[in-house]
Amino acid sequence: MIKVDNLVKTFDGFRALDGVSLHVTKGSVYGLVGPNGAGKTTLIKHLTGIYTPDSGSSAIDGSEVFENTDVKAKTIYIGDDLYFFPSYSIEDTAKFYKDIYPTWSDERFESLKEIFKIDTKRKVRRLSKGMQKQVAFWLGICTRPEVIILDEPVDGLDPVMRRNVWRVIVQDVAEYGTTVLISSHNLRELEDVCDHVGIMHEGKIVLEKSLDDIKGNIHKIQLAFEGGFPEGIRGKLQVLHTESTGRVHMVIVKGDSEEIKEKLKHFNPIICDLIPLTLEEIFIYELGGMGYAFENIIL
């Protein structure tokens, strides 16, 4: 549904996107993660037709996005920095969206009033940032989009509203097969909703897999040995990280879990437990392996 191919974007000599490629299948929820300055927002602004690339392509449903009204009509973009017309109420803005988006649903707008519970006569600009974000979701969902592109979507929302928003999005995916691309730093929340993840670093996608594949390929193992930590392990396995507390060692290793267990048997561990990794840990160790100071991005 979304396909980015070798996209390059330069700002004053700085390559914000350095040949980035990405693929999001229809009906999936794709989490785009990466440290600050990785190029996530720049990539999203290409996917929403705001930016023009220096080279490469960004397509939705097989068509280039820039100046493509058909594609834009079925795409909704909710950025971190929202804009609403001054003096417009929610009703006015809804009417504007209705005129702009051909697939607008009045019925949905009415039904979502129950969830968002904001007086539609209120001026949007006078609402709090969190409420403005709710309005953006409300209106966006009412356009019945085929693609939803979200940049830091739940920043500023209270926990209850966060849950509501995610619920609405997931429901949309389930009911209409909507494709969602979410850029966020909140990895814990992404882990709950995403089925695919792409990690961006320095203008490139350094990892793009389904969440299951990622989790199946990187493991946290708790080990204990009679003596010290056998250094031979590093030669046999792809170790990303080690930590030791007394005789107990915690190792992050990439690879197939059965293969790893088999190899570890040769070192006669007293304890050998595989513990599931969170997306946040995967993100930290993957980027840590690339030299990124992951301490800076722990949330």
Partner 1 sequence: MRSKTSFFNKALFLSDIKRYWWLFAANTALLIFCCVIPVYDRCLNAVGVSFGDAPTWLGVGIVINIVFSLGVGTILWTFMHFSNSVSTFHAFPVRRSTIYITKLISGFIMLILPIVINGVIFVLLSFTPVCFGHFSAYDALIWIYRGVIYSLIIFSLTTFVNMMTGNPIGTIVFTGGFSLLPLMAIGFCEGLFSQELYGYYNNLSDYGIDKIYIGPQGLTSLEYGFIYPVASVIMLVGAYILYKYRRSESHGEVISYKWLVPVFIGIVAAIASGISYAYFWEIVGIESIFTLIPFGIVGTAIAYMISQKSLKLKGSLKPIALYIVITICFIGAVRFDITGFEDRIPSIDDIAGVSIDHSRYYVRDSEIKDKPMFTDKDDIETVIRLHQSFIQDKAAHENRSEGSLPITYYLKNGKKITRMYLINSEIDTAFLKPVYETPEYRASRFGLLQEEDYVYTMVEVTDRRIGSDTYIALYPDNDDMQKLIDAVKLDMQNTSYEDMLKNYEASTNVYISWTMEEKNVKEPEDLIKSDIYANSEAYAVKPSSLNTIKVLEELGFYDMIPRADDISQVKMTLNPERSGKVVVEMTLNNPEEIAQIYSEYDDMIKGYHFHDYEGANIDINLIYTLKNGHQFDVSATYDKDKLPDTFLKYLK
Q: Interface with partner 1 by CB under 8 A: which residues?
A: 11, 45, 48-52, 67, 69-73, 75, 77, 79, 81-83, 85-88, 92, 96, 99-102
Residue 140 C-alpha from the chain's centroid = 18
For partner 1, the closer of residues 102 and 177 by Cβ is 102
Q: How far is the CB of 16 from partner 1 (least distance, A)?
A: 9
Q: How far is the CB of 278 from partner 1 (least distance, A)?
A: 32
Q: What is the CA radius of gyration of the chain?
A: 22
For partner 1, the closer of residues 16 and 197 by Cβ is 16
Q: What sign does the dihedral 57-58-64-66 (CA atoms) show?
A: negative
For partner 1, the closer of residues 77 and 294 by Cβ is 77
Task: For 104-129, give the DSSP string.
Answer: --HHHHHHHHHHH---TTSBGGGS-H
For partner 1, the closer of residues 79 and 230 by Cβ is 79
Q: How far is the CB of 125 from partner 1 (least distance, A)?
A: 11
Q: How far is the CB of 68 from partner 1 (least distance, A)?
A: 8
For partner 1, the closer of residues 51 and 166 by Cβ is 51
Q: How far is the CB of 297 from partner 1 (least distance, A)?
A: 23
Among 56, 60, 65, CA closest to 18 = 56
Between helix 129-142 and helix 106-116 the angle, nearest 10°, is: 150
For partner 1, the closer of residues 8 and 250 by Cβ is 8
Q: How far is the CB of 193 from partner 1 (least distance, A)?
A: 22
Q: How far apart are CA 239 and CA 223, in angstroms?
A: 13
Cβ 200 vs Cβ 34: under 8 Å: yes
* Other Cβ atoms within 10 Å of 113 Cβ, number: 14
CA distances from 282 to 88, 136, 214 (A): 44, 31, 8
Q: What sign does the dihedral 62-42-193-239 (CA atoms) show?
A: positive
Q: How far is the CB of 115 from partner 1 (least distance, A)?
A: 23
For partner 1, the closer of residues 89 and 184 by Cβ is 89
Q: How far apart are CA 230 and CA 75, in angstroms?
A: 54
